[in-house]
Amino acid sequence: MVDEESLVSFVVGGGRLSAPDNVTPRYRGELMRLMAIFVDSEMAGASGFADCINLAPGLKERITATRIVFDKFNHARRILDLMEQFGANTTQYVGAHPWAARLDRSVDLGTRRIDGDMRLNVFHYPINGWVDSVVMNCLMGQATVVQLDELTRGSYQPLADALSEILPAETRHAELGEHGLKAALDRGHDPIDAQASVNYWYPRVADSFGSSTSDHFAQHRKYGLRQKGRDGLIAQWQSRVHPILSRFGLNVPGHKPSEIGEQVSLQ
């Protein structure tokens, strides 16, 4: 088995690892954690959004929502297949947690993790109606795109390849969230209510990028699993979502409308 020093030198030089036998126990631990976060988030995201299908205003929107749920479960299955190669018991995985369970709407976990499943905290919060769901999907969809794009350049080739194939569908999900929000506002949905959803979800999605003091970012960069830190990723996300909110006449929480364009231009 490869030793730690040789592995780090290999990936720092741009090398890619191709199989479980090529990795060290420490690398394996960080890789499995990344994969578990993705799988658990897709499982929880799909399970929560499934409850919103019948809230959609029309048949077209219900079909779209159903497709998103299907895609997310399928994406979880693909990465579970990779985890199985490392010894994960995938037959028990699906029933391991109540994926549709949510906390009270008033709870704010920040970046504190709940013991148990590895879902991002944003998937512990309940969705409050159709417009709330498309706001969440718009904001979190763009965060998913940013994070997956980063991981497609990671040093474990099978994961990078799988996420490269998943990324276009997740990009489409983010676009569908944007389209759904636009359609709701065009139909006359109260923009004050939409802004309330933005105010609720924006900080919670921002927290999904993790804590700036987390040791995991340093480990991920050491092993070539990531290149950017939290601040770089969240700035990239903001550069995507701030113009969307501005187009819809919605404000970034904590910023005056005139400040949105200024902040994006400085990033």
Domains of the chain: 4-100+116-265 (1.20.1260.10)
User: pTM for this structure?
Assistant: 0.91
Q: Which of 255, 146, 141 is nearest to 195 (CA)?
A: 255
Residue 1: the pLDDT is: 62
Residue 257: the pLDDT is: 53
Residue 235: the pLDDT is: 96
Q: Which of 204, 226, 216 is nearest to 33 (CA)?
A: 216
Ranges of the chain whose pLDDT falls below 50: 258-267
Residue 139: the pLDDT is: 98
Q: Contact 125/103 with Cβ under 8 angstroms?
A: yes
Neighbours of 231 (CB within 10 A): 11
Q: Contact 139/201 with Cβ under 8 angstroms?
A: yes
Token couple for 211: 């804590």
Residue 265: the pLDDT is: 33
Distance CA 187, CA 167 (A): 30
Neighbours of 192 (CB within 10 A): 7
